[in-house]
Structure 1
Amino acid sequence: MRKTLLLLVPILLLGACSWGITLDDAAKNVRTAWSGDVSSCRELGKVTVSVMDRVGPVDRNDIKVRDELEVLARNEAAKMHADTIKPLAEPADGSQPWGAYQCGAHQPAPTGAPRAPAGSGSAPGQLQTFPVHGG
């Protein structure tokens, strides 16, 4: 029984790391411009978000850490009335800086993707990101 408990505790602790990090309703309208041009947008500021990237001696899954950083950045950007975020650097030690922008109708398109004419919907090749839930 004691051995089973000792094995379950680290698993539960690792699984608990993402509990409570959810996308706010207002943040659902915040887009992520991974490599898009935000030069036509108004810069509202910078947010730096952080999560635990290690639990004791164990590194957490890099994709999960990056996902949680994006969710937190979108939540913070929504509080600033931004509609677009863009990473300013790669994550380091569980922390990452993001730029917050107000682009309005001028949604940044991925580099090299054509922009859609006004009123025609989204541009071909334009992507929207959603947080990954679960394992």
Structure 2
Amino acid sequence: MKTALLAAALVLLSGCTWVKLDDAGTRVRVAYDGRVDGCDKAGEVTVSVKDRVGFYDRNDLKVRDELETLARNQAVSLPADTIVARSEPRNGEQLFDAYRCGGGRRAATTREYAPARAKEKEDAETFPVR
């Protein structure tokens, strides 16, 4: 019984991915608003991760986060310093356009976004999802 449970756990864990952002990938910004004015297109990046493990569908937010992280890591090789999602994730795969925006533009990562401050006491304060 213990062997069967251990084997099942190993199968489930083997389908999970833990994507880490490379040091070089931290210098690639994600243009969520699609604004890449004055940038030169460097190419395209297609990335994929497992979105399903057996009968289990992985968390959509986690899959999106891992796809973005992989795209940032791969954009460095083009070389590019900015990426824009061209499509929504489908079956664990997503396409990004990669751009060279030059050193004049500061690359902002998701960790550097400041929360929107409330204008009045009744307004809500928002924070980026990490």
Alignment gaps of 5+ in structure 1: 109-126
SS of the residue aligned with 2:43? strand
Could you say what the CA RMSD is over the residues aligned between the two structures, in angstroms? 2.7
Match status 1:89 vs 2:70? no
- The counterpart of 2:56, out of the listed 55, 58, 80, is 58
TM value normalised by structure 2 = 0.73
How many residue pairs get aligned? The number is 112
1:49-88 Cα deviation digits (max 9, x unpaired): 0000000111001111001100100011011121100100
Alignment gaps of 5+ in structure 2: 112-128
TM value normalised by structure 1 = 0.71
Which residue in the other structure is 1:6 paired with? 5
Task: Confirm or deny: 8 A CA contact 1:40 1:106 kept in the other structure.
Answer: no
The alpha carbon displacement at 1:98 in A equals 0.3
Aligned ranges 1:1-135 → 2 under 5 Å? 2=1, 6=5, 9-10=8-9, 13-14=12-13, 17-19=16-18, 21-104=19-102, 105-106=104-105, 128-130=109-111, 132=130
Structure 1 consecutive aligned stretches of length 4 or more whose deviation exceeds 6 Å? none
The whole-number CA distance in structure 1 between the counterparts of 2:65 and 2:24 is 17
